[in-house]
Amino acid sequence: MAYQAFYNKYRPQTFEEVVGQKTVVSTLKNAIKDNKIAHAYLFCGPRGTGKTTMARLFAKALNCKEGLGHQCNACDSCIGIMKGEHPDVIEIDAASNSTVDSVRQLIDNISYQPIMSDYKVYIIDEVHNMSNLAFNALLKTLEEPPEFAVFILATTEPQKILPTILSRVQRFDFNKVTEKDLITNMERVLKSENIEFESEALRLIANLSDGGVRDSLSLLDKLVSYAGNHLTVKDVDEMLGLLSLQDEISLINLISAKKTKEVLTLVKEKYESGMDITRLQNDLISIYKDFIIYVTTKEESLMDRLKESEARQLNLSLNEARNCVETLLQSKRDNRNVDDVVSHFQLTLINMMSEKIVTTESVQKSEKKNVDDPGDRKQNALASQAVEIRSRSNGFVSEHTEEKKDSNELIRYTTTDIVKLMYQGIKQDRVAIKSHWDDLEKYFNDDKYSYVAKPLHLSNLSVTTKDVLLVTLRSPIEIEKINKKATQPLLQELIKLCFGKTYRLLPVLEADVASAIAQYKSGGKPESLECTIDFGEENKTSGSTAFMDELLG
């Protein structure tokens, strides 16, 4: 017998065998049970999530000789559909039949009664590829379909479907299949093929398949023909050029030790031997994430990839891990906009190994840049990253100093600035202000102050000095709301009203305070305690470490 690919061999033949998509299955089954069959369906969802398979299963349930809703897989109708030879189930690939003619032909033939079943089912795959003319021809049919006709349109890009079509179809959204469901499905396949396997190998494949059943089975197919009767993690690593978990842990430790040369060489070598960069990015993110979970909860059961013993091998601080995850996630988002993924990733790694000095302005700037020049995105993602690295190594964002005069954004700070402020923290004042924090709520509906009262209330008071309130917020967008020259006087008035004294407000990113604490812990104490934050004047107070020690518990 000819070799059959896993994906075809193990294609679900009944609704019950479908992997994932529970909602779609139960809705379709109920529609049949209640005899509420629509004339047109739209199946939307990522590639390889089972849209065409589901369409065939639905056709089977409509036409099975055992009766409506059955999928006996033994009658002429079911067998015809399985073989793709059923005269009343017509599959059209819009990608290759995008001309008006083929749709016209479909329409011309549609009025003929079905030959061997109750329903004529038209499955149109990749329907977004149809030309507008073809779409319009189809629309006419959808307006007045014959009683026995059912259309199933499938697409990965529903946003490209004309609204006039959308209004005439019942839409079903197919989700990416979960890693767990993909693994269960692969286990089923390997068991019936009598192939032994290491569970971790299946997890790796599931992770690479990004929610696609088809991709997972195609990969499994390739790997089995490479590995034979026993599929191991080593096979997956070798064949797909992956780093092993141990290699990845070592890589993270190298990054943490700032061994730039070793890190870049390793990545370059692995890339040249076929390693998938996106895959490595995802792996590193999940390891850092597990590490954060481990440090904050000590719960091994909450971790996806690491065991406790492996988390212990990582030589890094919580803040380092947080910063690295942030940088990696940003880099992943930028991936779409760069041609040279490996250079982009190397720059990301360099970034992770540079000292973290962030200004709110640089964060906002790089975000704006991406929004403003969509045409130049590919160039920009690399360029802006390079600028950021350069400015970090300068110690401050000197390139931006000239632009500052025109800027509406007010406060600029470095990690060292934050450490200095922490030295100046006054515990009693902080406790007193915190106890009045909810007084801000009184101004939520106030015409004058509501605009600043809400974001300020949302922030978390971190440090109180003689004349500065350092508050933390999670995202640059929240900071942007209150970090403006125009809003400072208003904020100061409001602070006076609530807390009885005038303070300047310094809103900073939560992550930046975390780095400041890390810097303090690692002994990176500032040489001078004069605070250089640009409030328009200098802030000179003598400091003490008492507050920091209190803050760190």
* Least distance CB 79 / Zn ion (angstroms): 8
For Zn ion, which is the closer residue by CB, 78 or 249? 78
What is the closest distance, in whole angstroms, from the C-beta atom of residue 32 to Zn ion in the complex? 14
**Interaction between residue 329 and Zn ion (CB under 5 A):** no
Minimum CB–partner distance for residue 77 and Zn ion (Å): 5
Is residue 72 a contact residue for Zn ion (CB under 5 A)?
yes
d(CA 88, CA 103): 16
Binder of Zn ion out of 32, 37, 68, 75 (CB under 5 A): 75
Whichever of 78 and 287 has its CB closer to Zn ion, that residue is 78
Instruction: Rule CB under 5 A: say whether 263 interacts with Zn ion.
Output: no
How many residues sit close enough to Zn ion to count as binding (CB under 5 A)? 4
Torsion of CA 279, 283, 289, 291, to 10 degrees: -170
How many CB atoms are located within 10 Å of the residue 8 CB?
8
In sequence order, the 6+-apart residues with CB closer than 8 A to the CB of 291 are 306, 311, 314, 316, 321
Binding positions for Zn ion, 213-252, rule CB under 5 A: none
Q: Which is closer to Zn ion, CB of 14 or CB of 253?
A: 14
Q: How far is the CB of 72 from Zn ion (least distance, A)?
A: 3
Nearer to Zn ion, 72 or 386 (CB): 72
Q: How far is the CB of 81 from Zn ion (least distance, A)?
A: 9
Binding to Zn ion, residues 76-95 (CB under 5 A): 78
Residue of 186, 231, 230 whose CA lies nearest to 207: 186
**Residue with structure tokens 């033939």?**
109
Q: Which is nearer to Zn ion, 69 or 241 (CB)?
A: 69
Q: Which stretch binds Zn ion (CB under 5 A): 58-66, 332-340, 427-435, 520-528?
A: 58-66
342 binds Zn ion (CB under 5 A): no
Question: Which distant-in-sequence residues (6+ apart) come within 8 Å of 490 by Cβ?
Answer: 448, 449, 451, 452
Q: Which is nearer to Zn ion, 14 or 184 (CB)?
A: 14
At residue 139, φ and ψ (nearest 5 deg) are: -60, -40
Residue 64 or residue 303: which is nearer to Zn ion going by CB? 64
Exposure string (b/e) for 242-256, b if CB count within 10 Å is 16 or more? Answer: bbebeebbbbbebbb
Fill in the DSSP letter of residue 178. P
First to last CA, the chain: 71
Q: Nearest approach, Cβ of 279 to Zn ion (angstroms)?
A: 42
Segment contacting Zn ion by CB under 5 A, of 60-68, 185-193, 204-212, 526-534 = 60-68
Closest by CA to 114, choosing from 82, 80, 143, 142, is 80
Residues 289 and 318: beta-carbon distance below 8 Å? no
Choose, by CB under 5 A, the member of 18, 19, 62, 64 that binds Zn ion. 64
Q: Give the nearer residue to Zn ion in terms of CB position, either 77 or 385.
A: 77
Minimum gap (Å) between residue 125 Cβ and Zn ion: 23
Residue 65 CB, shortest distance to Zn ion, in Å, is 5
Measured in whole angstroms, how far is the alpha carbon of residue 278 from the centre of its chain? 12
Buried b (16+ CB within 10 A) or exposed e, 445-472: eeeebebbbebbeebeebbbbeebbbbb
Catalog residues that contact Zn ion under the rule CB under 5 A: 64, 72, 75, 78
